Structure 1
């Protein structure tokens, strides 16, 4: 049965593209496909898919260029970047390119499907504004933005994912491994130092005194906890 959700897969590896297309069709999605950046721009603007799964490395046009181009032309739907290395995620600047989220390759198909399901739930839910309020702040995860006393603070994709996970699990001690799995995903090659670095950056954006954090606290030897108050 069709879900009525149209997904475009932009991937030049034909085997991978075949597998993803086949799986998503079996899950009830309407699937379009292309392996070329130039063609991707045209297809996105002509077909207006609900979700674009876009490879970072493409012949002819980089995924980031495709993304920037369609955003400039007014395409506002979800664009999920597929990247080969977790490290590349830092290069995927959500603002510069307009990427909504990302998934690292090689991905587990079940993980990809679960990720898409959660996005679709959000698309079908008419209230598209998941907003979390804490202190004098408001977090709008969909647009990677934090408002502090009305002032806009932009978050990277990773900071956005980290903060959202804490806000959905208030006052709960979350260990580093769990957090890394949620943020960087399945089979990630990221170490805890990288995670800690992102926490430090995030604290600079949400804490009154980042050196003495009141919201995002370290739980020694385990991980972190978000004090929702």
Structure 2
């Protein structure tokens, strides 16, 4: 079954152009020109990926992202931001997006980003033990579920991929660029802020006190590592 993409974009010319390119890559594409309609369609159609513009009439993309991320924690979200507006990128990531692109953009690059995100979402452990345990945490790599003290926690696809990387490599220090290449892919065009924001979100979910992390340590001048207790 082809992956289903919902494009929420109020500019019809952009929407149609992006839709053509996604359909050429065999994606099923749905369209919405407002955030309100996008929420309605998401609840009805349950797309795999949401491509969401920030600047929408009425409800903006941040609010749409906040609402849908709470309802659909495992859905992939790519946000479209204005050129050079770093604050938009950071805010989008804080609201739970997995990736972002700045306008204007090459539609084929968006297709590549969608494919990369779907790969992260659909990775499966083909053989061996699919359960990974570390202290109070457990990952089921087959179902892509994450638990703390046997209670399932909602992680975005990107957050799951990062925590899986850490738990598979406890004690290993990863440079930000390493995490960027492993999780987002070497063809990602962006900066390491996307790593820092996702780490901050993860800490807010798994740490007892995010300001004093016990599990995800900062390696100053380098990046991050999972503390090997």
TM category (shorter chain) comes to 0.5 to 0.7
| Aligned alpha-carbon RMSD (Å) | 4.7
Judged with a 3 Å threshold, the aligned counterparts in structure 2 of structure 1 residues 17 and 169 are, in CA distance, closer, same or farther, namely farther
Q: Matches of residues 1-229 of structure 1 in structure 2 within 5 Å?
A: 3-66=1-64, 78=75, 80-84=77-81, 85-92=88-95, 94=96, 101-106=97-102, 108-118=109-119, 121=122, 132-139=132-139, 146-147=147-148, 149-150=149-150, 162-170=162-170, 172-180=172-180, 186-189=188-191, 195=196, 198=199, 202=203, 205-206=206-207, 216=216, 221-226=221-226
TM-score, normalised to structure 1, is 0.62
Q: Secondary structure at the match of 2:98?
A: strand
Report if aligned partners of 1:9, 1:32 keep a CA contact under 8 Å in 2: yes
Q: Secondary structure at the match of 1:105?
A: strand
Gaps of 5+ in 1: 95-100
Segment of structure 1 superposing worse, 173-182 or 34-43 = 173-182
Q: Paired residues, what number?
A: 210
Q: Give 1:12 deviation, angstroms.
A: 1.9
Report if aligned partners of 1:175, 1:222 keep a CA contact under 8 Å in 2: yes
Report if aligned partners of 2:48, 2:75 keep a CA contact under 8 Å in 1: yes
Residue of structure 1 equivalent to 2:85: none
Q: Give 1:9 deviation, angstroms.
A: 0.9
Gaps of 5+ in 2: 82-87
CA-to-aligned-CA distance 1:130-175 (integer Å, 9 cap, x gap) = 864211222579999651x346777788765543332355554421
TM-score, normalised to structure 2, is 0.62
Counterpart Cα distance in 2 of 1:78 and 1:197: 16
Segment of structure 1 superposing worse, 170-179 or 155-164 = 155-164
Q: Secondary structure at the match of 1:104?
A: strand
Report if aligned partners of 2:144, 2:160 keep a CA contact under 8 Å in 1: no
